[in-house]
Amino acid sequence: MLHLVVCLKQILDPEIPPADFKLDPSAQRAAPTASLVASIFDENALEIALQLREKVGDARITAISLGPPSAVDVLRKALSMRADDAILIREEDFPGIDAHGCARVLAAAIRKLPPADLILCGRETGDWHGGLVAAFLAAEFDRPYTNFVAGITKEGDHFHLRRQTEDGWEIVRSAAPAVITVTNDDHNLPRIPKVKDNMMAFRKQIPAWTASDLGLVPASVAGPNSKLEQSRLYVPVVDRKCEIITGDNAEAKARQLVERLAALQVI
């Protein structure tokens, strides 16, 4: 049986309009002005894990999240999309954790599970856009790492990963166990959970593992990124005036637009 582990992070809704975005008074992070959601690429990752399970039949999917108590909502959503198990890791136990620490904590949790054949993460989170944790996990486990995967098949004891590049697609054959990040394409839009699965997910127990459950001393997980000092977090000012083209009808607007484009010397 294949064991697929999907790592999901809960973040502030990244799609709020800029006008609603505010910084926390500490000026070290965003203020909680938006609802909390699963980071979108993590859901793409879960989606392709589900698709792989549908293809191979015999697979188990574990969703894990390192996060605050509210992150249990992300895990419930994962269960309602039909992940088999979900585990929360208490982020409060690891204050100020960096990307290295995150990878070490996730690795410690994954080591407690049945051996994982494939670990899937989103290509980057929708809040800090680090793009590091999956690669660090691969390094922790010394496993092959492939990024920007949009689809997977199992061929014998290898995975065939359909991976996006600048100008197209590659098929990467990867030995198992492996670690990948997932990017979006039209084949991995996260499915909408069914009502009955929502109810099932609601009843399911989700364990919350602590630092001591994982045998970790919080201070020892930090890595070199924790040495970086955030000297400033600020909202960049965009000061542009938009000239709205007016006209009685579409034709007049189109003519006016062409005139203005010609004046800008771009046509």
Number of Cβ atoms within 10 Å of the Cβ of 218: 18
Kindly identify the residues of this chain, within the stretch 124-163, that bind other proteins according to CB under 8 A. Answer: 124, 126-132, 135-136, 138-139, 143-148, 150, 160, 163
92 Cβ contact list (under 8 Å, min separation 6): 68
d(CA 171, CA 36): 35
**What is the smallest separation between the CB atom of 209 and ligand FAD, expressed in angstroms?**
27
What are the structure tokens assigned to 84, written together?
């088999």
Our finding on whether 14 is near ligand FAD (CB under 6 A) is yes
d(CA 188, CA 33): 29
**What is the smallest separation between the CB atom of 43 and ligand FAD, expressed in angstroms?**
10
252 Cβ contact list (under 8 Å, min separation 6): none
Are 42 and 8 spatial neighbours (Cβ–Cβ below 8 Å)? yes
Our finding on whether 168 is near other proteins (CB under 8 A) is yes
215 contact, one of other proteins, ligand FAD, none, CB 5-8 Å limit per kind: none
**What is the smallest separation between the CB atom of 261 and other proteins, expressed in angstroms?**
7
Our finding on whether 33 is near other proteins (CB under 8 A) is no
Our finding on whether 15 is near ligand FAD (CB under 6 A) is yes
The gap from C-alpha 132 to its chain's centroid, in whole angstroms, comes to 11
Our finding on whether 250 is near other proteins (CB under 8 A) is yes
Q: Residue from 67, 101, 126, 190 that binds ligand FAD (CB under 6 A)?
A: 126
148 contact, one of other proteins, ligand FAD, none, CB 5-8 Å limit per kind: other proteins
